[in-house]
């Protein structure tokens, strides 16, 4: 799984891990912060949240255009510093007055702009590592590993946000509304880690750092872009746009994790847990389970005794830790709504080896589906996640409020949301890393930055549409989830209707 990958993959992945840890620490509590600090209702919160997500994923289009002209690595480093300014502004405890709202809006703009310069261009650099013929057949698995690595940061983010807020309240006696700023400060620290890793690891990916202008490429022996005919260029761009049109609706459904699924966790899900179920809310237990999965792969895939022994150790040691931790469990633990967002990232890390192994096995048999087929399947799996939510929401009352505060109306088992995140993660692994790999492979070389940016524009449009289910909040819950399931099914049918055209270029 890890063999045969270019060295630069790990430095670039870790640089993105730090940035994603900060981003998801902020995102885990952002909607709750808007309501606790500014007392915004669900509709305004939904609009702000989805508009911010739209900007975060729309601006990579312009970041990619700038990178095509001035260099990807240069835009990556500028982007990190711009993001840092945004998180610093968000960490300032200015209260709930007009100035605080203006500063909050400015901080979101800086974070969005910085991400636009950083995110897509870093992934173009990852894709360029696989232009070397030695690594060409590792592109899909490489992007899956890259995606797994950056989700390690996302996995720890909700716990970091909750614990730093709790620590600030207990240590400094700050209110809940003020404690959110301490969580945002964590994002500042994570970007320092990110830029440090980027510069320290630069020697491993120096071959993809663009420092010269295109007209000087031949003189400096820098690889030149493959020339395509105008017809081929149009065909590739058309296929990419069609795929991106489908991806819009996936992200609309997927990013409900920060909105309606968080509302469901707050208003309908049990606020305490006990026994084995309680163990999954401790991120260290999830890490132990991840080590066991990796250990199983090492045990069964290693050809040498040393590798098998290492695999056995990676199973037995975490298993012993889990047993010990189970013995220390209190009678019950409390559950905070943001904690559920850790499960998606955890499942990405845990299931990536399974995904790579499955498609590797199919590839050896000549039966591995092409990227567009995987994307279509991902849409169908996402629909299944919301069918699960429909089943779990039947009979639940519509949301109600007392003095403007959401009532807690039920104690639905946490297993419903955890299962939903598991199914959504299966969908994500079929669609997101594979889609990024597809863009890096199919995009006309002269427009790599712009097309990777366009991929994120599709994500941006999906994120803007995230607010629609937020506006439906207050209706019967089966309607909210039913709309999302139906959209995913229609999008899947569309992509399968044009699959021959897409497979032709993939």
Structure pTM? Answer: 0.77
Taking the alpha carbons of 228, 230, 231, 237 in that order, is the dihedral positive or negative?
A: positive
pLDDT value of position 432: 84
**C-alpha span between 247 and 257 (Å, rounded):** 17
Q: What b/e sequence results for 220-250 when a residue is b if at least 16 CB atoms lie within 10 Å of its CB, and e otherwise?
A: eeeeeeeeeeeeebebbbebbebbbebbbbb
Query: What pLDDT is recorded for position 150?
Result: 79
> Is 8-208+231-271+335-394+404-505 a CATH 2.170.190.11 domain?
no
The pLDDT of residue 7 is 87
Q: Are 183 and 160 in contact (CB under 8 A)?
A: yes
pLDDT tens-digit map of 92-139: 999 989 999 999 999 999 999 999 999 888 988 998 888 888 888 788
Is the distance from CB of 418 to CB of 466 less than 8 angstroms? no
Q: How far apart are CA 205 and CA 474, in angstroms?
A: 50
Whether 457 and 60 have beta carbons less than 8 Å apart is answered as: yes
What are the CA-CA distances from residue 287 to residues 1, 201, 282, 347, 419 (Å)?
19, 25, 9, 10, 18
Report CA dihedral (11, 142, 498, 251) to the nearest 10 degrees: -50
How is residue 78 written in tokens? 């500028």
pLDDT computed for residue 198 by the predictor: 92
Inter-residue contact 71 to 301 (CB < 8 Å): no
Residue 65 and residue 454: Cα distance in Å, rounded? 10
For 178-284, list the strands marked E by DSSP.
Answer: 272-273
Those residues of the chain that have pLDDT short of 70 are 1-3, 210-227, 404
Q: How many CB atoms lie within 10 A of CB 211?
A: 12
Q: Are 505 and 239 in contact (CB under 8 A)?
A: yes
Question: Who contacts 257 (Cβ-Cβ below 8 Å, separation ≥6)?
Answer: 340, 341, 344, 421, 424
Of 155, 53, 57, residue with least CA distance to 457: 57
Q: Which residue from 28, 21, 18 is spatially nearest to 165, judged by alpha carbons? A: 28
* pLDDT score of 317: 94
Q: For residue range 24-70, list pLDDT tens digits in order.
A: 898 888 988 998 899 898 889 888 988 898 888 888 888 888 988 88
State the pLDDT at residue 226: 59
Q: What is the pLDDT of residue 214?
A: 43
CA angle, 147 then 151 then 154, to 5°? 150
> Are residues 122 and 16 in contact, defined by beta-carbon separation less than 8 angstroms?
yes
């Amino acid at each position: 799984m890890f063999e045969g990958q270019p060295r630069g993959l790990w430095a670039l992945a870790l640089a993105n891990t730090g940035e994603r840890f900060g981003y998801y620490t902020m995102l885990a509590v952002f909607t709750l912060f808007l309501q606790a600090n500014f007392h915004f209702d669900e509709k305004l919160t939904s609009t702000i949240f989805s508009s911010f997500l739209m900007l975060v994923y729309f601006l990579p289009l312009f970041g990619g255009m700038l990178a095509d002209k001035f260099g990807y690595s240069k835009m990556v480093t500028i982007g990190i510093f711009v993001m840092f300014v945004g998180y610093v502004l968000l960490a300032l405890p200015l209260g709930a007055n007009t100035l605080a709202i203006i500063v909050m809006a400015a901080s979101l703009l800086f974070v969005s702009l910085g991400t636009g310069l950083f995110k897509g261009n870093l992934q173009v650099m990852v894709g360029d590592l696989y232009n070397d013929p030695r690594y060409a057949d590792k592109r899909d698995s490489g992007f899956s590993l890259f995606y797994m690595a950056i989700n390690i940061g996302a996995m720890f983010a909700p716990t970091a946000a909750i614990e730093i807020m709790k620590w600030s309240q207990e240590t400094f006696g700050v209110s809940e509304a003020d404690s959110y700023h301490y969580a945002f400060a964590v994002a500042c620290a994570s970007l320092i880690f990110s830029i440090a890793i980027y510069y320290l690891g630069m020697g491993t990916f120096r071959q993809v750092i663009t420092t010269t202008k295109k007209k000087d490429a031949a003189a400096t022996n820098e690889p030149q872009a493959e020339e395509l005919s105008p017809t081929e260029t149009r065909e590739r761009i058309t296929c990419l746009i069609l795929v991106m049109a489908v991806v819009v609706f996936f992200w609309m459904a997927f990013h409900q994790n920060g909105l309606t699924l968080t509302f469901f966790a707050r208003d309908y899900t049990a606020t305490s847990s006990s026994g084995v179920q309680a163990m999954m809310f401790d991120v260290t237990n999830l890490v132990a389970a991840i080590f066991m999965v990796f250990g199983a792969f090492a045990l069964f895939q290693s050809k040498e005794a040393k590798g098998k022994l290492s695999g056995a150790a990676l199973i037995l040691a975490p298993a012993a830790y889990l047993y010990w931790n189970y013995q220390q469990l209190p009678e019950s633990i409390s559950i905070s709504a943001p904690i559920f967002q850790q499960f998606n990232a955890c499942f990405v890390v845990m299931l990536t080896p399974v995904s790579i192994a499955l498609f590797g096995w199919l590839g050896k048999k000549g039966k591995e589906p092409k990227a567009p087929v995987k994307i279509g399947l991902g849409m169908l799996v996402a629909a299944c996640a919301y069918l699960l939510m429909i089943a779990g929401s039947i009979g639940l009352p519509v949301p109600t409020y007392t003095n403007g505060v959401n009532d807690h109306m039920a104690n639905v088992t946490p297993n419903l949301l955890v299962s939903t995140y598991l199914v959504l993660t299966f969908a994500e692994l079929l669609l997101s890393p594979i889609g990024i790999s597809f863009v890096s492979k199919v995009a006309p070389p002269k427009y790599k930055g712009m097309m990777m940016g366009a991929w994120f524009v599709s994500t941006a449009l999906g994120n803007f549409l995230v607010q629609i289910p937020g506006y439906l909040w207050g209706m019967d819950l089966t309607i909210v989830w039913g709309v999302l399931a139906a959209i995913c099914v229609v999008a899947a049918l569309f992509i399968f209707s044009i699959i021959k055209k897409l497979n032709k270029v993939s």
